[in-house]
A = this chain, B = another copy of it.
Amino acid sequence: MTVEDKRHLRSILTRQKLLEAAKEVFLQEGFQKATISQMIKKAKVGYGTAYVHFEGKEDLLIVLMEDVMERFYEIAEISFLPKSKHEAEEIIYKQANGFLTMAEAERDMMQVFEQAIGVSSLISDKWKMIREKFIQRISQDVAFTQQNGLARAELNHEIVARGWFFTNEMYLWEIVRNEHQASVEEVAKTITSIYVTGLYI
């Protein structure tokens, strides 16, 4: 635990070297083509060492993604108490825009992450947790505005919430893949406008 514990220090250093090498290899090769052997070679570490510190490729990526995922959780936790339809639109636009802007900012690692979601159930579960967090939050917000009389009460708030998040999520992946034509702002503005007009009274 202490800094003078050289053994532990070396261990931390090895771990660090592996993480850095893994990041480089992931970014260069993508998740599937990346091999743990490449990472080990790049980290200048014995083969078995990698397996002492990490369970495999997937585990390495999860550790590398932890910061980014933390930030997703933070966005999901922003609270939401609008007093009018107009105010709702403003807040929702800001959230959607923040969400999509994040995709742009973290594009490189998110690209790797997207590939990994398709392959590793460990990583796919991580993303599912983030998604459910968002949906739960949105769902709650919709229910709140429905009780308030701001939103159409005849709609199932859970279904609405999922639908809304799904649009956002798919645009997120488009942006990550660099396939989007329009600017993030216009996308956020347009989808928010439809959603708010469709849901609120």
Write the residues of chain A forming the contact surface with B, with a CB cutoff of 8 angstroms.
Answer: 32, 115, 117-119, 152, 155-156, 158-160, 162-164, 166-167, 169-171, 174, 181-182, 186-187, 190-191, 193-199
Assess the A167–B159 pair: CB atoms within 8 A: no
Secondary structure class of chain A's binding surface, majority of residues = helix
> In the complex, what distance in Å separates the CA atom of A159 from the CA atom of B167?
11
Most chain B CB inside 10 Å of its own CB: which residue of A160, A162, A187 = A162
Assess the A163–B115 pair: CB atoms within 8 A: no
Which of B117, B152, B164, B194 contacts A155, CB < 8 Å? B194
Closest B residue, CB atoms, query A198 = B198
Assess the A193–B198 pair: CB atoms within 8 A: yes
A7 → B minimal CB distance (Å) = 39
- How many monomers of this chain does the complex have? 2
> In the complex, what distance in Å separates the CA atom of A171 from the CA atom of B115?
20
Which of B117, B159, B174 contacts A191, CB < 8 Å? B159
Residues from chain B with a CB closer than 8 A to the CB of A163 are 167, 171, 190-191, 194
Assess the B159–A170 pair: CB atoms within 8 A: no
Assess the A194–B195 pair: CB atoms within 8 A: yes
Which of B117, B158, B166, B193 contacts A166, CB < 8 Å? B166
> In the complex, what distance in Å separates the CA atom of A182 from the CA atom of B160?
11
Assess the A194–B186 pair: CB atoms within 8 A: no
> In the complex, what distance in Å separates the CA atom of A182 from the CA atom of B171?
24
> In the complex, what distance in Å separates the CA atom of A168 from the CA atom of B152?
21
Residues from chain B with a CB closer than 8 A to the CB of A160 are 190-191, 194
> In the complex, what distance in Å separates the CA atom of A105 from the CA atom of B162?
22
Residues from chain B with a CB closer than 8 A to the CB of A198 are 193-199
Residues from chain B with a CB closer than 8 A to the CB of A193 are 155, 198
Residues from chain B with a CB closer than 8 A to the CB of A196 are 198
Closest B residue, CB atoms, query A174 = B162
Residues from chain B with a CB closer than 8 A to the CB of A166 are 166-167, 169-171
